[in-house]
Structure 1
């Protein structure tokens, strides 16, 4: 199981200069790679007051150019907001810069204002997502999108919280980027319907954990940032309620407790990847630095030890 860090690059109240926000994130990513983290994932939203990352593949390219080993993923790029050919070209560039380390996560999106801003069809977003996956892979295969990616094939994921998205992931042969036992059935149904081996199912996603040596002390300092993140999804559009409930409540815990939580949540599921938010916007640097250190150096080792301990023989 690969352990990763998840970046949305929020900056409430623009408290820090934007170049510093991005430079600090890239510095921590480099340190996390040296300490042993397996993957870095980026996110996408538009129009947030705190500057939520709007260009996940652009930032993924910066990560790719500054790292040597970690997988570089999008969780997710909102497929209906970008033409499939542009998606294929941008993703290929990231794969080239990383020498074949891209994990391309695509989603349907859920915030109506983001679609309205670019004239995209909100109601048709799931159909657009499924079409985009096929188009991107076809553009790579037939040479329409140049230059080509290094990997053949590039690992593709679908970020989905419900059965419709899980079936799309299955039909297209993609991984399911959401950890939920209730979605495994629809996902495998989709794999079978698409002519794929149901045994090839792979899942991954966010485990909303923040690591600290003293969770009780850290929790008090983290609470205001957690409230900000949840409140930022509020609004009058129909997607707001879905967004505020999208992620499980943040848990602050030690590395050992985190390994236990992850083992419990992934038991019996074909999970290959888990990741934690690298930062909860506005946190003090000492909290973020220690969290990143514990995730990168502690979680992979603890999870591997658990795996070894339960291996046959």
Structure 2
């Protein structure tokens, strides 16, 4: 198992931002062609608008991304309906549980996030939130379908929303809150469309990751640490809330950690590993995209290839 190189490297990368990529590209050389990335939908804008163009500029390799809920991503790899070079997950444990052994034996953790409520300010929900009313009172009083969550059977964003409802129920003494909200929210099957629906007015609010609200320039109320899944010190607390998908996979609540790997027998494994290295080496770009890169990231797990260093 590979571990981080320490604070000095992390601090250096954060300081130079995208300049670090130039040094990396110089070591590996330009690579023509393209790399296919099958990614968690919450990173659609981060990859298409920030990371992909920068990677192509530095390496000459275009990034072709497809974005779905992470559960759906894993299923597509497992049933071989998609054949990506790179797989990116919004739940590091989910990737290892589903893909280690047959499809990969390593990954790199590169960013974290936090959960909260993205909303449209011109709605009654938005006005109440802007006035400082507790988010759980606001959403509990909203019309059915006014608040969206991801589909918990397709992506971690969906099951984290339900887990957050459960933890909030305990935290604030909200009897029956998870069950009630589970019935009344709209379940969006297309994760990349979560904030687009709020932006267009189809929904008043959505339980999303912080970067998704940033992507759309929409206001965001971050949940408290007790249920925003951002604090590693609260891992045991998060784990007390679970969700079992229709496929029978039971996900415990856990801190949000994004990770990436290349698929065994990928069409362009060299470019795939370069892209994973790029994710590890560009904390400045990740920050611009609304993600968080903590001092202990990037972090390797499993049997890392020789040309991937973290």
TM-score scaled by structure 2?
A: 0.30
**Structure with greater proportional strand content:** 2
TM-score scaled by structure 1?
A: 0.30
**Structure with greater proportional helix content:** 1
